Structure 1
Amino acid sequence: MNNTKEKFVVTAAQMRQIEERIFVAGMPVAALMEKVAGLITGKIVELFNPNISKIGILVGPGHNGGDALVIARELYFQGYEIIVYCPIPKLKELTDAHSKYLQSLGVDFVDNISLLKNCELLIDGLFGFGLEREITGDLAVAINQINSWKKQIFSIDLPSGIHTDTGEVLGTAIYANHTFCLGLWKQAFLQDQALEYIGKSELIDFDIPLTDITEILGEIPTIERITKTSA
């Protein structure tokens, strides 16, 4: 990993601008999704108990959900039993394509969260960075039920329900044990109110060109002493 990137912290708007530069330059969204999901899959296999066999995947409508589905596919091919909770029927095009392929493999898709209660591990891909609205209704009930199980949960980019910039809980949020922050640290990771939801945090470096980062954020931050040196 290029440790320089650890020094940058972005808002949701800045991350969108940086990603847009990557895509305009020619990086296919699908290729980036495969890369990110591959990196996270490797981390998950390293981190959790090898005796775990049943994994629940929480899938939202956007590309965070797409990341989760690619991870689900890779874990399925490694022999794990996968069950997908997909509570929102209308998905983005790429996410929908991954959903259909996974279903063609015979992976179970459900919209009843209680069917994931026997899973030994949950992967949260409901919402990534940029969520602005409060989570309410049946989905809020489902998230609260998930939290009550106190299972091991890995979140992709941010725990679902956490505001990217402020760390505010938008109605309710997933309590993750481990959160994989994608590309660059988001401001929420520095907000006290979000830390108990984030759990252990880890930056997944998917090779954003430094020029794209500095074009949006400016030059590499420097560390400066703000208190006088004691005698």
Structure 2
Amino acid sequence: MRSDLQHLLITPAEMTAIDRAAAQSGIDSFTLMRNAGLAVTAAALRHFPDARRFVVLCGPGNNGGDGYIAARGLAESGADVAVFVLGDPARLQGDAARAWSDWSGPAAPISAFEPQAGDVVIDALFGAGLSRDLPDDVVHLIERVNASGVPVVAIDLPSGIDGRTGEIRGAAFATRHTVTFMAPKPGHWLLPGRSLCGTLKVFDIGIPARIVSAGAGSLRLNAPFLWAGWGGDLAASTHKFKRGHLVVFSGDRQATGAARLSAAAGLAAGAGLVTVATGKAALGINASHLTAVMVKEIDGSRELTKWLQDQRLGSFVLGPGFGIGKKARDFALALCDRSLVLDADGITSFQTNPGELFAALAKGGGQMVMTPHDGEFARLFPEIAGDDGLSKIEKAQAAARASHAVIVYKGADTVVAAPDGRAVVNNNAPPWLATAGSGDVLAGIVGAHLAKGMPAFEAAIAAVWRHGAAGAKAGPGLTAETLIGAIPPIS
């Protein structure tokens, strides 16, 4: 995959338009199909040189056309090849019909296929454009193949995965390898599709980069180039306030640890100074556990309003262990003209009247980053969360538009979306980040970025990426404390 395209994330509809634009520019579409099919041939031979038989399952569209070309390439290489078809190949049209006519070997209906030891299956039934449930005969075929354990190489996307949402449409192949073209699709990286793709390889089949870039939307895979220039090299004259002052609000005396984790993470992530703002009841507990992080007694809205006159306070984290209720709402509403990370209890506190928060943020014009997991997202955005027709990306985008905030929709396939429609999918996070306190650490990193002046979207995507990189560095036995120590420098 070309470096200038490697971070694009292209929806199936966008890819269809890109294919059309390539053809309109004078590029022979069958040449592109041939390049795709031969890329699959090469991948299959490279990964499975000892296969006893390659079984190519060809569908009723262009994905099937790729399969016929792959089958011919495998046969010409000397491999034993068997082709099984869905539907009547005589009804194929365009490039797929030409690919079928170039296949000189026999073909049997998919109902005749029974997996055998030594088989390698090439899945060319349906590509990333699938948006409907599979027919029963295909579901049964997929179940037989998955149960057999024979390896599967998917063309474009494992059949049964919706390329837009990553959802399974009845059943889907569990593949060892997936070969796609020009750029990955959302279904490659959104769950559950991500878990079924195996290793993903993106091949350049000859569509000019200018056409691909022009047809791509605002989706990207998260990577450091997206926040390049916001890392902030330290000048000789830099002092702690120039690096930013982060404030983390603590909960009551029985729930102070989460705030301290966020504060420690913010300090490690680059904030020049960090203060834990705490009520009087928890003041002693927090003071006894903190050293480089300062402590400030803030019991209510009056004290907070007075303190906010200090414009050196760069950003705020509200929610980790704070408690659900009126105090959280009052504090959040008072900060809607500042830079605020709203997490955990701060989010849930608005579940009965989220519009109050959204209106205040629209009026205040501050920079807010909200970091909900699935449950918190459903509490704050019930209608969006309940729309099964939307992908996780589309849900995050809709929530960002509705709330006027950057949304970090957490999970193994974290999506970050901005109110202007920009969105990224993060793919560097290891599964062992799913541990107590991990989200508190993430909130602190976002807060540190906001404190140093990064825009909300860049602050959020950089934090999510650094959080994932820290998890990979800390390893499977990480705790929230060791995760903080593994936060890498911002690039």
| 2:173 counterpart residue number | 174
Q: CA RMSD in A?
A: 2.2
Q: In the comparison of the two structures, how many residue pairs are matched?
A: 227
Range moving further from structure 2, 217-226 or 187-196: 217-226
Letter in 2 for 1:82: V
Counterpart position of 1:74: 73
Which residue number in structure 1 is paired with residue 53 of structure 2? 54
Spell out, residue by residue over 1:97-148, the C-alpha distance to the aligned partner (whole angstroms, 9 max, x if none): 332332xx3x231114453422510000000121111002222111211111
User: In structure 2, do the counterparts of structure 1 residues 92 and 147 end up closer, same or farther at CA, with 3 Å as the change threshold?
Assistant: farther
Between structure 1 and structure 2, the one with the greater Rg is 2
The more displaced of 67-76 and 80-89 is: 80-89
Could you tell me the TM-score, scaled by structure 2's length? 0.44
State the identity as a percent: 25
Partner of 1:110: 108
Unaligned runs of 5+ in 2: 232-444, 450-486
Shift of 1:21: 0.9
Please say if residues 40 and 204 of structure 1, whose CA atoms lie closer than 8 Å, have aligned partners that are also in contact.
no
1:127 paired residue number: 126
Give the counterpart letter for 1:126 in structure 2. Answer: L
Distance 1:115 1:13 in 2: 32
Partner residue in 1 for 2:8: 8
Counterparts of residues 13-32 of structure 1 (less than 5 Å): 13-32=13-32
Point out which structure has higher relative CO (alpha carbons under 8 A, 6+ apart).
1
Q: Distance in 2 between matches of 1:63 and 1:78?
A: 23
Q: What does 1:61-210 correspond to in 2, within 5 Å?
A: 61-89=60-88, 90-102=91-103, 105=104, 107-118=105-116, 120-210=119-209
Over 3 Å counting, the alpha-carbon distance change for 1:83 and 1:171 in structure 2 is same
Q: Which residue identity is paired with 1:4?
A: D
Q: Contact (CA 8 Å) 1:156, 1:181: kept in 2 or not? A: yes
TM-score normalised per structure 1: 0.89
* Cα distance in structure 2, aligned partners of 1:175 and 1:25: 37
8 Å CA contact 2:57, 2:110 repeated in 1: no
Q: Structure 1: give runs of 5+ residues left out of the alignment.
A: none
For the residue of structure 2 that corresponds to 1:185, the secondary structure is: coil
Aligned to 2:43: 43
Report the Cα distance in structure 1 between the residues aligned to 2:142 and 2:214, rounded to whole angstroms. Answer: 38
CA, structure 1 residues 157+113, in 2 after alignment: closer, same or farther (shift >3 Å)? same
Against the structure 1 CA distance between its residues 208 and 145, is the aligned structure 2 distance closer, same or farther, given a 3 Å change threshold?
A: same
Once residues 77 and 65 of structure 2 are traced to their aligned partners in structure 1, the CA distance between those partners, rounded to angstroms, is: 19
CA change 1:120–1:18 in 2 (3 A) is: same
